[in-house]
Amino acid sequence: MSVPARLRCALAQLNLVVGDVDGNTSRIVAAANRARDELGAQVVLCPELAVSGYPPEDLLFHAGMRTQVARSLERLKREVHGITLVVGYPEYADHTIYNAAAVIRNGVLVGNHRKTCLPNYRVFDEKRYFTPGGESTVVELEGVRVGILVCEDVWDPAPAAAARAAGAEVLLAINASPYEMGKQAQRETEVARRRVAENGLPLVFLNLIGGQDELVFDGQSFVMNAAGEVTLRAPAYVEGLYAVDLDRDAGGSVRPRPGDLTPLTGEEESVYGALVLGVRDYVDKHRFPGVVLGLSGGIDSALTLCIAVDALGAARVHSVAMPSRYTSQMSKDDAALQARILGVKHSEISIEGMFAATLEALKHEFAGHPPDTAEENIQSRCRGVLLMGISNKTGRMLLTTGNKSEMAVGYATLYGDMAGGFAPIKDCSKLLVYRLAAWRNARGAVIPQRVIDRPPSAELRPDQKDTDSLPPYEILDPILEAFIEEDLSVDQIAARGFDRVTVGRVLDMVKRNEYKRRQAPPGVRVSGRAFGRDWRYPITSGYQTR
């Protein structure tokens, strides 16, 4: 057999839609045809579970999904020719489902790898759906023996070692690896480099992109040579086809030829990109015409407005200021100024009449009770009524503007500022919000500087400041991160230099407010542990945080 000097492989970094089997199949066929015709590729990789979208969750149990997947595979065999396709799909075998990668060449299934390692932690619950595969899959493509891996298979040493033992000369891994801060460096340095060093084989790592509910898949597909050097890296958050040439050297080893190497971005830029893509895909995949949000003149809503405009364009965004008797003129002016800078439709609707009427209606019920958070929450709920009314009338989805620090300790109002369909900065701490606002302003001053500089306030009573109810965010956020992301106890957090009473109070607030978080809208996950699918604390609990 004559061995080619080169195997050209195309990485199809695709943005797919969960459950849209027919649409996803069309995207896969189009990508394969482009890879063959425009790049001259001999093999094209498509992401993990590309046919169904990732994660398909309980859609996998529907009989219709099984039928559609079978139809998709037949279509791929029929319509993809002149190039080998490696594509992820849910494989149904009697009463068992596998997370599989099909290798299709000119209408024939020449290989099929069943994912060996099924993640069942944080946002993953694949053991609920899939049965693990038990064998390695090595397929000869144009004279090169490739070992096929699916996502978590790369994170465990056994599947790559088994592929090497079965004769693989290069590892091809298809992935649906969601974004979180620092994830790309972890993929490359802590995972890929170890597998490469252990086996002495180059690795081609293809990743999904796109927003799916709380998850964002960032792409950043890459190729690593046998020396542990990244020779190609695709950009984050960009759909596209990226080619790598795998050359056989004089000694017979397969080596990836250097390609385009997109630099890794800083943390603020990568987080902001995830938020923008998450909002865009949530809105567009649900076919909303646009969004509406309350613009208070504070930092959280200011950042949310920037994200919405960058995601959707100014014409699809409507901001609404809703002042009360406690709203400062500065807040009204700054909200109007930012709306003008960004070019969005902006309305100002006073809630004073609604608030006064509600207080009048409740005066007998409230008689004998001093003003407290009840009156504050009424203002927030008046605003929720207005925003939801606009949303219902226009069809635009309501974005909520709360951050992770507030959600953690319950500094938010059910059916008020928590009302809405999506929460872009739900997983961003207050300190991260400030960093993101500064980063965005450095690329064009779109947030009035005094919005960033002024002390944060809900403006629901005279001279209110967040620090009236909460520790300063410089103290609060590290405590929350230690508890939420590291699962540390009161004593362990206090040992880091925090006041033990303050730590206990903060952790008690987190515990008491689980019932609010269960009713909050989904939002983009950017941290190692977000409220949502990877936070599963009981609402009713006798656990003592101390």
Tell whether pTM > 0.85. Answer: yes
Q: How far apart are CA 480 and CA 503, in angstroms?
A: 9
Interacting residues of 164 by C-beta distance below 8 A, sequence separation 6+: 147, 199, 200, 201
- CATH code for position 395: 3.40.50.620
Question: Are residues 339 and 359 part of one domain?
Answer: yes
Question: Are residues 206 and 136 part of one domain?
Answer: yes
Nearest alpha carbon to residue 98 among 63, 27, 48: 48
Residue 410 located in a structural domain: yes
Q: How far apart are CA 355 and CA 324, in angstroms?
A: 8
Residue recorded with tokens 């009473």: 501
**Catalytic annotation, pick one of 9, 46, 151, 306:** 151
Residue 535 located in a structural domain: no
pLDDT in 10s for each residue of the chain, 546 residues: 344 458 999 999 999 999 999 999 999 999 999 999 999 999 999 999 999 999 999 999 999 999 999 999 999 999 999 999 999 999 999 899 999 999 999 999 999 999 999 999 889 999 999 999 988 899 999 889 999 999 999 999 999 999 999 999 999 999 999 999 999 999 999 999 999 999 999 999 999 999 999 999 999 999 999 999 999 999 999 999 999 999 988 888 899 999 999 999 999 999 999 999 999 999 999 999 999 999 999 999 999 999 999 999 999 999 999 999 988 899 999 999 999 999 999 999 999 999 999 999 999 999 999 999 999 999 999 999 999 999 999 999 999 999 999 999 999 999 999 999 999 999 999 999 999 999 999 999 999 999 999 887 777 778 778 788 889 999 999 999 999 999 999 999 999 999 999 999 999 999 999 999 999 999 999 999 999 888 988 898 888 776
Q: How far apart are CA 111 and CA 100, in angstroms?
A: 10
Nearest alpha carbon to residue 410 among 282, 287, 514: 514
- Residue 248 has a CB neighbour count (10 Å cut-off) of 17
**Catalytic annotation, pick one of 9, 46, 91, 115:** 115
Residue 531 located in a structural domain: no
Question: Does residue 9 have an active-site annotation?
Answer: no
3-class DSSP state for residue 33?
helix
Question: Are residues 489 and 471 part of one domain?
Answer: yes
**Catalytic annotation, pick one of 48, 91, 180, 376:** 48
Nearest alpha carbon to residue 493 among 505, 485, 482, 506: 482
Question: Does residue 48 have an active-site annotation?
Answer: yes
Question: Are residues 304 and 246 part of one domain?
Answer: no
Question: Are residues 507 and 473 part of one domain?
Answer: yes
What is the number of residues in the chain? 546
Nearest alpha carbon to residue 296 among 394, 403, 405: 403
Task: Enter the tokens of residue 307.
Answer: 């994200």
Would you give the DSSP letter of residue 125? -
Question: Are residues 296 and 188 part of one domain?
Answer: no
Per the structure, the complete domain to which residue 345 belongs is given by: 269-517
Question: Are residues 323 and 370 part of one domain?
Answer: yes
- CATH code for position 151: 3.60.110.10
Question: Are residues 318 and 249 part of one domain?
Answer: no
Question: Are residues 286 and 217 part of one domain?
Answer: no
Residue 348 located in a structural domain: yes
Residue 1: predicted pLDDT: 39
- Residue 542 has a CB neighbour count (10 Å cut-off) of 5
Interacting residues of 432 by C-beta distance below 8 A, sequence separation 6+: 271, 403, 404
Residue 533 located in a structural domain: no
Q: How far apart are CA 44 and CA 41, in angstroms?
A: 7
Residue 501 located in a structural domain: yes
Residue 96 located in a structural domain: yes
Beta strands 215-218; 222-224: pairing state: unpaired
Question: Are residues 71 and 53 part of one domain?
Answer: yes
Question: Are residues 199 and 63 part of one domain?
Answer: yes
Residue 286 located in a structural domain: yes
Cβ–Cβ < 8 Å for 210, 240: no
CA–CA distances in Å: residue 57 to residues 102, 127, 300, 355: 20, 11, 32, 43
Number of domains in the chain: 2
Question: Are residues 321 and 282 part of one domain?
Answer: yes
Final residue of a domain: which of 196, 227, 262? 262
- Residue 439 has a CB neighbour count (10 Å cut-off) of 15
CA–CA distances in Å: residue 470 to residues 22, 139, 287, 539: 50, 59, 39, 22
